[in-house]
Amino acid sequence: MKIVIIGGGFAGINLAKELVNQPQIQVTLVDKNNYNFFPPLIYQVATAFLEPSSISYPFRKFFAGKKNLEFRLGELQSVVPTENKIILNNGELTYDYLVFATGAETSYFGMENVMKNAIPMKTLNDAIEMRNTLLKNLEKAAITKDIRKRRKLLTIVVAGGGPTGVEVSGMFAEMRKNILLKEYPELETSASNVYLVDGGDALLAPMSEASQKDTYDALTKLGVVIKLQSRVTDYIDDTVHFANGETIKTKNLIWAAGVSAKVFEGIPQESYGRGRRMATDQYNKVNGLENIYAIGDTSILSGDKNFPEGHPQVAQVAIQQGLNLAKNFKALITNKPLKPFTYNDKGSMAIIGKNKAVVDLPSPKWHFKGFFAWVIWLFIHLISLITYRNRINTFYNWMVAYFARDQSLRMIIRPDKRQ
């Protein structure tokens, strides 16, 4: 059985890991990057509290010694289902079973200016670009004499009140308090604001009301200006425009407001559901196709009675679908019955700042906040990293940041484009 997996995120890597040492199964994982990375922590790379290598690991290093796993660097161009073949930007591959684990990409809701000018927060490349942009703007602010220009350079607007938006705005607020004036004494008398804006009625909409209130209060105490029911409609000439007519002038619009799945040539239009996600049955098989599956953020599964509208696009869904599909592939070989996917909701959490986090557990319905929730967040994210090396590096960096309230990773490093 030859299985090709497109995408090495939470869903794809867990599917591949679960199929290790299966002599009757040959797995090829295809990804446009040569590394796996941990999306929940990219904002810490973006704010220079972690190195990229702390949350990423090369696929080939991870697959070394696993005889039935191989890696192919490439980007999917199209699928030819009638020939069991995929076309990559650098060649072709055939398969017995094809699995889409391509995740989701940033959605700008059709706003061209936002897409061109905002800073996305989805990939490791985005995080490095964001770090470089913010650091360069700080350097520009340190030397400009124009007060209005300096204010725009120092103002940060984070769009999106989900976990990423909450976590990155809390990090910016703490950096302003503990780092900015220490390293940039030229800015001592300058005004700088961190705005967190969202079109909804609450932060962390899927979480409990207690978590939403605790988060709002904690961020406000840190100095974050929260603007709810404030939907961004445009970002042009260094000005963020809102549906209610308000505007904010800034050079830094961080976009964490939405995601959308990708559409691939060769997959029939009728196989897609809401949000451009591939519609699948309860075994993650794409509707209308015999040997093509979709897992994680790129899929919307029907058949789970607890989630009739589809599962949330979160890491735990992707991980559990990858593991369940691996078990079903093993069952196909031994002619055993397949197991339909049922999501086990393990809860949700978000970090707000030092010693501040919120955690909701579904059964029993428990809510935690403050230091204890912060420790839970740290522990869960540490054990979720792919290797012991990542865990050790990240833990070390966190301890340095905790006791020093700082990190020494604020370097502007860009590739030389002349080469």
At 216, the pLDDT band (50, 70, 90 cuts) reads very high
Q: Flag whether 58 is in a domain.
A: no
Residue 348 has pLDDT above 60, yes or no: yes
Q: Flag whether 396 is in a domain.
A: yes
CATH number of the domain bearing residue 20: 3.50.50.60
- Average pLDDT (267-285) is 95
Check whether residue 305 and residue 370 sit in a common domain. Answer: no
Q: Flag whether 329 is in a domain.
A: yes
Q: Flag whether 57 is in a domain.
A: no
Check whether residue 11 and residue 125 sit in a common domain. Answer: no
Check whether residue 142 and residue 291 sit in a common domain. Answer: no
- How far apart CA 122 and CA 46 sit, in angstroms, is 11
- Average pLDDT (65-82) is 96
Indicate the range of 81-85, 321-325, 360-364 predicted with least confidence.
360-364
Q: What is the pLDDT of residue 354?
A: 86
What are 31-48's pLDDT values in tens digits? 999 999 999 999 999 888
Give whole-number Cα distances, 313 to 72, 259, 346, 372, in Å.
Answer: 26, 9, 14, 26
CB 219 within 8 A of CB 196: yes
CATH number of the domain bearing residue 201: 3.50.50.100
Residue 402 has pLDDT above 80, yes or no: no
Residue 302 has pLDDT above 50, yes or no: yes
Q: Which of 81, 3, 4, 76 is nearest to 267 (CA)?
A: 81
Q: Flag whether 69 is in a domain.
A: no
- Average pLDDT (58-74) is 95
What are 164-194's pLDDT values in tens digits? 999 999 999 988 887 887 888 888 767 789 9
Residue burial 371-400, b: 16+ Cβ < 10 Å; e: rest: eebbebbbeebeebbbeeebbebbeebbee
The whole-model pTM stands at 0.90
Check whether residue 224 and residue 150 sit in a common domain. Answer: yes
- Average pLDDT (192-209) is 94
- Average pLDDT (204-230) is 95
Among 304, 333, 362, where does a domain finish?
Answer: 333
Among 333, 360, 380, where does a domain finish?
Answer: 333
Check whether residue 173 and residue 233 sit in a common domain. Answer: yes
- Average pLDDT (204-228) is 95
Q: What is the pLDDT of residue 341?
A: 95
Integer-rounded Cα Rg, in Å, for the chain is: 22
Residue 418 has pLDDT above 80, yes or no: no
Per the structure block, which two tokens stand in for 217? 């209060």
Q: Flag whether 217 is in a domain.
A: yes
Q: How many domains does the chain have?
A: 2
Residue 410 has pLDDT above 80, yes or no: no
Check whether residue 188 and residue 288 sit in a common domain. Answer: no
Residue 359 has pLDDT above 50, yes or no: yes
Q: Flag whether 338 is in a domain.
A: no
Report DSSP state, residue 269. Answer: G
Check whether residue 165 and residue 233 sit in a common domain. Answer: yes
Check whether residue 119 and residue 208 sit in a common domain. Answer: yes
Indicate the range of 79-93, 166-180, 217-231, 247-261 predicted with least confidence.
166-180
Place of tokens 């994680």: 296
Query: What is the DSSP pairing of strand 119-120 with strand 252-255?
Result: parallel
Check whether residue 189 and residue 219 sit in a common domain. Answer: yes
Check whether residue 88 and residue 183 sit in a common domain. Answer: no
Q: Flag whether 52 is in a domain.
A: no
DSSP tally for the chain: helices H, then strands E: 12, 25
Residue 419 has pLDDT above 50, yes or no: no
Considering the chain, what is the average pLDDT of its residues? 92
Check whether residue 172 and residue 218 sit in a common domain. Answer: yes
Domain that holds residue 322: 2-32+74-104+261-333
Residue 258 has pLDDT above 80, yes or no: yes
Residue 287 has pLDDT above 90, yes or no: yes
- Average pLDDT (236-262) is 95
From its phi and psi, is residue 288 left (phi > 0), alpha (psi between -120 and 50) or beta?
Answer: left
Place of tokens 């700008």: 108
Question: Within 13 Å and on the Cβ side, how many CA atoms surround 232?
Answer: 32
Residue 3 has pLDDT above 60, yes or no: yes
At 407, the pLDDT band (50, 70, 90 cuts) reads low
Q: What is the pLDDT of residue 185?
A: 86
CB 309 within 8 A of CB 315: no
Among 282, 303, 333, where does a domain finish?
Answer: 333
Q: What are phi and psi of 9, to 5 degrees?
A: -85, -155
Check whether residue 238 and residue 266 sit in a common domain. Answer: no
